[in-house]
Amino acid sequence: MREALARACANVALVKYWGKRDELRNLPAVGSISVTLADLVADARVSVGGRDGPRFIGHGRAVEGRAARRMEEYLDWLGRELGTAERLSVEVDTTFPVGAGLASSAAIHCAVAAAAASVLEVAVERGRLSALARVGSGSAARSVYGGWVEWHHGERADGSDSIATPILDEDAWPVSMVVAIVDEGPKDVPSRDAMRHVAETSPLYAAWIASQPPDLAAMRDAIAARDLEAVGTIAEENCLRMHAITFAARPPIVYWSPVTLAAMEAVRGLRRAGCTAYFTIDAGPQVKVLCRPGDAQRVAKTMSEVPGVVRTLSSSLGPGVRLLEGATPWT
């Protein structure tokens, strides 16, 4: 049996991916821009040639149900794509809760794609690796790179141009993200299902698609100017617009809890007190706060004092995917 071990960091979108133009390949209906986080890490050990046993082990235990089926399908697809009929299996460990709106699927699928290419000794360009990761989970396309990253909508039907590209690496403009964890349990509606439901039923979906290119352009400019106030303002507006279209679905999907709203208000309070802090929220109740590294402790303290916040995590920006064991399959 051969093995390779890859490590990828989660990423959090500041201009969100919500909606698909192709569900099979996870081709997005909109482009997105994210930051890769150093301290939210997934390790994936992919082995090939094993004959039996569970194919998806998470934190030392066999994963079952829908998550296991989805991973097995992905491993089979990866194998075909990378030219093998051999059985692939994976062991995953993460430093943070899975399935709770903390971008675990991004980190996991990116690490799986990289480890699979390595163990199968297939040389892949980073762009192709991004496309391979994307098929596992859309947002995984972005975890290929560190720092500030854009994932492009792309035009081609095969998705070969719907890949991530780096904007700035993690050292070029350090910022911090404080995650206020409100609920560590799995989310009620997986984002995959929610995206489809929103696209099919929300009367605001078309407006969301139309409003994304200007947000992407403004975000690129704000990052180029290292303007954290502008980045944060665009991120908050984009996040609220994404949640607005889910509220408007029939039946509505609301990922927030009362604690989420209290945490958002705490961020506004920090701003009123002169601290550069802006929130974003994904498909779950957690509130992620973008701030300067020097303010991270203060932000974490304020967020941890919000009644109902279970704990906080703080992270700087992190690197792209890398191999811990096995040859790096890209140059």
Binding site for ligand 2P0 (CB under 6 A): 13, 16-18, 26, 32, 105-106, 137-139, 191-192, 282-283
In the complex, what is the shortest distance from the CB of residue 140 to ligand 2P0, in angstroms, rounded to a whole number?
7
In the complex, what is the shortest distance from the CB of residue 46 to ligand 2P0, in angstroms, rounded to a whole number?
19
CA 206 to chain centre: 23
The residue (of 138 and 146) whose beta carbon lies closer to ligand 2P0 is 138
Give, for 294, the enclosing helix (H) or strand (E): none
CA 186/CA 169 separation, integer angstroms: 31
Residue closest to ligand 2P0 when measured from CB atoms:
138
CA 161/CA 175 separation, integer angstroms: 29
In the complex, what is the shortest distance from the CB of residue 272 to ligand 2P0, in angstroms, rounded to a whole number?
27
Query: DSSP letters of 17-83?
Result: ---EEETTTTEESS-EEEEEEEEEEEEEEEEES--SS-SEEETTEE--HHHHHHHHHHHHHHHHHTT
The residue (of 48 and 129) whose beta carbon lies closer to ligand 2P0 is 129
Side-chain half-sphere exposure of 9, counting CA atoms within 13 A: 21
Question: In the numeric block, which tokens belong to residue 276?
Answer: 């550069």
Residues β-bridged to residue 27: 22
In the complex, what is the shortest distance from the CB of residue 301 to ligand 2P0, in angstroms, rounded to a whole number?
27
In the complex, what is the shortest distance from the CB of residue 194 to ligand 2P0, in angstroms, rounded to a whole number?
8
Strand 88-94 and strand 56-58: the pairing is parallel
Question: In the numeric block, which tokens belong to residue 321?
Answer: 């995917």
Indicate if the alpha-carbon torsion angle 32, 304, 318, 255 is positive or negative. Answer: negative
The residue (of 138 and 154) whose beta carbon lies closer to ligand 2P0 is 138
In the complex, what is the shortest distance from the CB of residue 274 to ligand 2P0, in angstroms, rounded to a whole number?
29
Strand, coil or helix: 177: strand
In the complex, what is the shortest distance from the CB of residue 64 to ligand 2P0, in angstroms, rounded to a whole number?
19
The residue (of 4 and 253) whose beta carbon lies closer to ligand 2P0 is 253
